[in-house]
Amino acid sequence: MSKSVPLFKIPDHQVAGHQALNGQLGPLVDESGLFYKPLKDDRGLREADFYKTLLTDDRVPDHIRKFFPKSFGTQTLEASDKSGPLPHLVMENLMSKYANPSIIDFKIGSRTWYPEATDEYIDKCFKKDRETSSLYLGFRVSGMQIYENQDLGYWKPDRKLTITYTADDVKLVLRKFVSSNQASDFKKEPDCKFASTVYGGSSGILAQLQELKSWFEEQTIYHFYSSSVLIVFDKGSLLEGKKAAPTIKLVDFALVIEGNGILDHNFLGGLCSLIKFISDTNKDC
């Protein structure tokens, strides 16, 4: 009997980070619902370390674990850039349960660097935080896609634009995100048809963000620099009258450091700012 070979492919719904396109190094997914992130540099190894620590860290309450992707250690497989076998971090593919997900990746914090980093690294991040929305809004839109319909597929604005969104841009995009009409058409006023379904309610995005916020008002064990909050729902299903499954996930942990008894005030401040934007959108819709 021949051993079945898992079929790896490029993720369909990746909105931020390095992508395995055109023979470059990037993450892969398989048919079983797993996501493989290549561990090439120091950042990758630090992220793998964090996932390993998290698995056994009993200071993280059970009800908070749902906000982190499930992880399954590392596995060596052929890298997407054909450079040969490379260890990959194995995680759940957050998008595998969605037919046509709309996604926004918010990189949280007005500061994406940690105090102990090198001056060179701090200078680089500091410059980028000032040039993008991070310093002003306490977060930046690191990437996004909004499902339009079967014909048009996804609206995926250029990351160079999304990272510099102003407050008004963010408000508009948060309205487009939960609208049934065409997001890519800026002449159309978003109809906000799905706002209460996606943002509101006891299991909506806002309720989940509030639960996460409550943890950040208490936890002093980790500081999350340059991590993101993903918000996702299945717009495709919703358009067919099925469940939206609005979900938030924390992702990107290459720059998580020990909290040492101090609140992660940088992440918390940014998270509160994001909650305020979504809460206002939900009210105004």
Given 227, 273, 281, 282, the residue binding its own copies (CB under 8 A): 273
Per-residue binding letters, 87-116, with its own copies (x by CB under 8 A):
-----------------------xx---x-
Where are any strands of DSSP class E within 94-219? Answer: 101-108, 139-149, 153-155
Q: Give the Cα separation of 122 and 140 in Å (integer).
A: 17
* 244-264 per-residue burial string, b: 16 or more CB within 10 A, e: under 16: bebbbbbbbbbbbbeeeeeeb
Determine, following the binding rule CB under 8 A, whether residue 34 of this chain makes contact with its own copies: no
With beta carbons less than 8 A apart as the criterion, state whether 178 and 146 touch: no
Determine, following the binding rule CB under 8 A, whether residue 123 of this chain makes contact with its own copies: no
With beta carbons less than 8 A apart as the criterion, state whether 228 and 105 touch: yes
Least Å from the CB of residue 213 to its own copies: 9
- Count residues near its own copies (CB under 8 A): 25
Strand pairing category for 228-234 and 247-251: antiparallel
Choose the binding region for its own copies from 1-9, 30-38, 212-220, 240-248 (rule: CB under 8 A). 212-220
Residue with tokens 């948060």: 174
Least Å from the CB of residue 240 to its own copies: 36
Which residue type occupies 74?
T
Given 130, 188, 242, 283, the residue binding its own copies (CB under 8 A): 130
Q: Where does this chain bind its own copies (CB under 8 A)?
A: 110-111, 115, 126, 130, 135-138, 167, 217-218, 220, 260-263, 265-266, 268-270, 272-273, 276
